[in-house]
Structure 1
Amino acid sequence: MFVDPEHDHRFGTSATAGERSMLVDVLAAQRTTLRLKCAGLDTELSRRSVEPSTLSLLGLVRHLADVERRWFRRVLAGQDAPPLFSSEAAPDRDFDGAVPDPAVVAEAWEAWHAEVAFATEFVTGAPDLDIAGEDSWRGTVSLRWVLIHMIEEYARHNGHADLLRERIDGAIGV
């Protein structure tokens, strides 16, 4: 198990909390889950699932850094912030470039932490959940929608992380 259930407070948010608090706390719990699934690993994070897939824990960290960057920096904050690990020409580079190199691992975590910090600060400073940005895929999106989408994105990928981590060293748990 990654965390003793008695000491796991990731999902301790009140089920009757306000909307903003609940969304922020559930997203934080999903982010923490990703960190837990990757804890104690270095270059092993790059181990692939099964061929021909390039899915790996390191790829997930890189992918989620880019996803955080897209929604919070580019769409909601309106910054000129191109993806760090993928591009239109190489849309799967976040996974394909996840190689067993300590520098690549460090770069991925540094980027992910920076994007999560930016997103956290942005959400904290937002006057309400109705602020909006323009996205080429979805059109106008609210902060509310982005938070829900991010929870879904992490939850889906944390399911992948469960299987990837178990393949690496047999570790299981929530």
Structure 2
Amino acid sequence: MTRRGDLFGGAEGAHRFTGPTTGDERRILLDVLGAQRATLRLKCSGVGPELASRSVEPSTLSLLGLVRHLADVERRWFRRVLAGQAAPPLFSSPADPDGDFDGAADVPGAVEAAWRAWRTEVAFAERFAIRAPDLDVEGEDSWRGTVSLRWVLIHMIEEYARHNGHADLLRERIDGAIGM
């Protein structure tokens, strides 16, 4: 008998969750966040233009929208809040706060641009988190006030885990692929 969770990704998918379960807090948090990021990549693997397929009316939720959204979320927390950079969102704006999802369309170059932005923001976040002197590095956020790198890492794990649940359903709708 095969479990639902065993059906998607096989051995490749299982390698996402092999990091440490004890020891250095930063290493554990970065590994768990890395596994969540890998899950998003896995859920979107092998999908072409269907990445822009919407879930159900009236929702604009799509795998492409999730990639765009998570690129903006990575950018916000690591570049703007923690690093203090002037880095406006790439796919949304004050005038179009849901542009990350609403603008996720099957147009030439959209998928590549979204993945390129996501990879760039993840690479920045990883470098920032590794180079920070400790997890108590702080930044100021208009929503939460003062936040630490520790809090941001935990929040990012939660953000990815929630959206990876969405990705499960979106991927199953596209081609029937199921599992964790």
Deviations, residues 107-142 of structure 1 (Å, cap 9, x unaligned): 100000000000011111101000000000000000
| Matched residue type, 1:69 | R
Provide the TM-score with structure 1 as the length reference: 0.97
| 1:6 to partner: Cα distance | 7.8
Structure 1, unaligned runs of 5 or more: none
* Matched residue SS, 1:2: coil
Query: What corresponds to 2:93 in structure 1?
Result: 87
Query: What corresponds to 2:32 in structure 1?
Result: 26
**In 2, Cα distance between equivalents of 1:50 and 1:34:** 20
* Matched residue SS, 1:8: helix
Query: What corresponds to 1:150 in structure 2?
Result: 156
| Matched residue type, 2:124 | F
| 1:94 to partner: Cα distance | 0.3
Query: What corresponds to 2:71 in structure 1?
Result: 65
| 1:79 to partner: Cα distance | 0.3
Q: In angstroms, what is the RMSD of aligned CA positions?
A: 1.1
Query: What corresponds to 1:121 in structure 2?
Result: 127
* Matched residue SS, 2:32: helix
Query: What corresponds to 1:51 in structure 2?
Result: 57
Deviations, residues 117-168 of structure 1 (Å, cap 9, x unaligned): 0001111110100000000000000000000000000000000000000000
Deviations, residues 36-67 of structure 1 (Å, cap 9, x unaligned): 00001121100000000000000000000000
| 1:7 to partner: Cα distance | 6.7
Q: Return the match for 2:20 from 11, 14, 18.
A: 14
Query: What corresponds to 1:42 in structure 2?
Result: 48
Identical pairs, percent: 74
Q: Count how many residue pairs are aligned between Structure 1 and Structure 2.
A: 174
